[in-house]
A and B are shown apart, each in its own frame.
Chain A
Amino acid sequence: MPLVSALAASHAPNILLEPGAEWEDFMRLHYSMAPQGSASRPTLEQQKKLRQDAETAFAALRADMEQANPEVLIVVANDQFVNFFWNNMPTFFVTVGDEVRGQFTRHKFHYRNHKELGKAIVRAGMDKGVDFSYGEYVELQHTQTVPLYFLLREPKLPILPIYVNTWVDPAPTPRRCYQVGELIREVADRARERVAILATGGLSHFPGSPRIGEIDESFDHKLLEVLRAGKGKSLIDYSVQDLLQAGDTEFLNWMVLLGATGDAKASYTSYMPDFVATGWGFASWKL
């Protein structure tokens, strides 16, 4: 069966934190890294509006995914020192265990992992010159669970977490991520099941950096415009440094998705800067 649905969404923790005390606690920590970032601190009403807008965006993505009726969801995300550290920092990692679990505040997550599809991707990579790392045990983190909470709260489908190193220098180029996406598309198109793919992360943000609180909205809007035009391949000549300057290295996860969707145009995009750290971006492709 072909790839039937593609989705992209931010995974910022505060999307899933409750407006009010939880947001305040989160912001207190983040602004301690760079106090000037608190200049545009959102009010409680703004926090509630952001949550509402994010839920609206996720509802649009979920409707598109459910209409496509997938049987497995590939989740392309980055690790943030939960599973990988400098002693072992894979550029691309495919999960080949039976199941995956994680927790976000009071929310617990447990999914069957589609290891057969994972192994097929690893094998296809060996044939095509992409030597994936792979392993049986990973712990899900907010980079997956925040979007999954809104898109697949009940584990009705198996998932397949694939990791991209978007955070630790040296990171893969946008071109390489796009190639990996093309490879995933080839495997998905040969799979027995209907396959959906979700890329998470971004858009512009600078966590842990003196630039925290800055959001490069114009760069983000340019990216979303490219997605709507179906011109994702035009981004392969960006350097990692270009993305880093805009706070958009997690867009490397989205580049994998763009390799899988090719010249298909995003049928839905939505964007909202959160006034804390991140430009929340959302997109969907009907394939």
Chain B
Amino acid sequence: MNESCFQRSLKDFEAVMGEYDLTTEEKEALRSGDPRKLRQLGVHGMLCLYLKRLDPDFRDNIYWKQK
């Protein structure tokens, strides 16, 4: 995930989503962070994984300390 986009998302996720042409359903899926919903909307599996970085439970995961 683009680092500046990630940092801005931490501060104001709604504002960052507003920068993109997203449907209500897509925004809800992104808010939920649920990979099942995201994958159904066509999100690449690896990006579903990367979006977990926005989840407080996974924010400091070891996976982000490598690329």
Contact = CB atoms under 8 A, between A and B. Distances in A.
8 contacts: A17-B62, A25-B61, A29-B49, A82-B67, A105-B62, A141-B66, A207-B46, A210-B39
B44 A168 contact: yes
B66 A25 contact: no
B1 to A, nearest CB: 8
A234 interface: no
A103 B67 CA distance: 7
Nearest to A21: B62
B50 A81 contact: yes
A142 interface: yes
B52 A32 contact: yes
A56 B37 CA distance: 41
A208 interface: yes
Nearest to A208: B45
B49 to A, nearest CB: 4
B63 A208 contact: no
A102 B67 contact: yes
B34 to A, nearest CB: 10
A203 to B, nearest CB: 17
B19 to A, nearest CB: 15
Interface of B: 1, 35-36, 39, 44-50, 52, 58, 61-63, 65-67
Nearest to B49: A208
A207 B39 CA distance: 13
Given A32-B58, A210-B36, A167 B46 contact: yes
Given A103-B66, A105-B66, A29 B61 contact: yes
Contacts of B52: 29, 32-33
A10 to B, nearest CB: 15
A102 B44 CA distance: 24
A232 to B, nearest CB: 27
A16 B67 CA distance: 12
Interface in A203-242: 206-210
Interface residues of A, number: 31
B62 A25 contact: yes
Given A81-B50, A141-B67, 14 more contacts: A25-B63, A29-B49, A30-B49, A32-B35, A32-B52, A33-B49, A81-B1, A81-B47, A105-B62, A140-B67, A206-B45, A208-B45, A208-B48, A210-B39
User: Most chain-A Cβ atoms within 10 A of its Cβ — which of B50, B58, B66?
Assistant: B66
Interface in A14-28: 16-17, 22, 25-26, 28
A82 to B, nearest CB: 5
A140 B66 CA distance: 10
Contacts of A125: none
Interface string A132-151: 00000001111001000000
A202 B67 CA distance: 16
Contacts of B1: 81
B28 to A, nearest CB: 19
A273 interface: no
Interface string A93-131: 000000000111100000000000000000000000000
A13 interface: yes
A29 B67 contact: no
